[in-house]
Amino acid sequence: MSTGSPEKLRDFFDRLRNLTPRTSATKVVALNPVHLSGFFDTLRAIPQDTLAPNRMALTQAVIDVRSLAVLFDGIRTPLQCLRAVGGFCNPWRIARLGRDEVRSTAVLAWLLDPAGDHGLGDVLLGAMMAHVHRVQVQIPHTPLGRVSVIREARLNSDGSNRVDIELRSNSLGGAFYLLIEAKIDAPEGAEQIVRYVKSAELGAGSLPWAVIYLTTDGRASRNIVELDSNQVVNLSWKELARVLLRSLDCMAVTNPAFQGFSFRLAETFLRHVRAF
């Protein structure tokens, strides 16, 4: 029997977590993927050498072939139905989003926009702000009122200083100013984060502000120590995806109506960037 690669195993777990229990005329015992998410996250974190079997201690197992056949027959129809409705489809893989920094950041900005046509409202932005609020208490823990979200925002008049995402809210009791600079494979530019911090301090005016440096490993800027600023949040794509996926899981439990097309787009995108 051939063994699958770690990537195929992770893909299997991701697909299994996406299974949504369906009602039918017969009573079935369904596994809730939301409840299983913690188990799979824990299993995925276990070092592979820990899971390696001790071949000297292996004993021959007796397999009930008939019961195994019944099990496979029982899951065949639900899996076929799920495939028929596109449950295994990852639109971002088909679109070859890959590790494209500009396109990935554009999708992130779309999802963070409460007024976006995804219809998810401010759920994802609120989850990110709550996470940032833990280390930057001046940033509100939830968005209030209208939030402006600008991609490739110009921070100076000649456009030579641009940031990936600019978020601003002047709402009473919930005002804030956030800049997000995202990196996947591209290196940090010369004094790039330093320039963004200075621009944020000027552009925010009286608004509470912070700069999010989003990278594959959550590393700190090389030059930020020179500025002696404590208003930079170092965040990894994996950590951000974990925070936003958790908010989607909670939303799916409290409001099943959100489990539509946009919910699927958001979920598959976050699982995609989680691997950066």
Residue 26: inside a domain: yes
Q: Please give the pLDDT value at position 113.
A: 97
Range of the domain at 3: 1-88
Q: Are residues 106 and 83 in the same domain?
A: no
Collapse the DSSP code of 108 into the 3-class scheme (helix H, G, I; strand E, B; otherwise coil) and give the result.
helix
pLDDT digits (tens, 9 = 90+) for 176-213: 999 999 999 999 988 899 999 999 999 999 999 999 99
User: Per-residue confidence of the chain (276 residues) as pLDDT tens digits?
Assistant: 444 555 666 666 666 666 655 444 444 445 555 556 777 777 777 777 666 666 566 677 788 888 888 888 888 888 888 777 677 788 999 999 999 999 999 999 999 999 999 989 999 999 999 999 999 999 999 999 999 999 999 998 887 889 999 999 999 889 999 999 999 999 998 889 999 999 999 999 999 999 999 999 999 988 776 665 689 999 999 999 999 999 998 887 777 667 788 888 999 999 999 999
Collapse the DSSP code of 196 into the 3-class scheme (helix H, G, I; strand E, B; otherwise coil) and give the result.
helix
Q: Are residues 124 and 69 in the same domain?
A: no
Q: Are residues 122 and 190 in the same domain?
A: yes
Q: What is residue 161's DSSP assignment?
A: S
Among 171, 170, 233, residue whose Cα is nearest residue 197? 233
Residue 6: inside a domain: yes
Are 216 and 276 in contact by the 8 Å Cβ rule? The answer is yes
**Residues composing the chain:** 276
Q: Please give the pLDDT value at position 40.
A: 75
Give the total number of structural domains in the chain: 2
Domain stops at, among 50, 65, 88: 88
Q: Are residues 81 and 114 in the same domain?
A: no
Q: Are residues 80 and 110 in the same domain?
A: no
Residue 262: inside a domain: no
CATH number of the CATH domain containing 159: 3.40.1350
Q: Please give the pLDDT value at position 27.
A: 44
Q: Are residues 143 and 235 in the same domain?
A: yes
Q: Are residues 189 and 125 in the same domain?
A: yes
Q: Are residues 54 and 22 in the same domain?
A: yes
Give the separation between CA 247 and CA 239, rounded to whole angstroms: 13
Residue 211: inside a domain: yes
pLDDT digits (tens, 9 = 90+) for 15-28: 666 665 544 444 44
Q: Are residues 105 and 195 in the same domain?
A: yes
Among 150, 153, 131, 152, residue whose Cα is nearest residue 142? 131
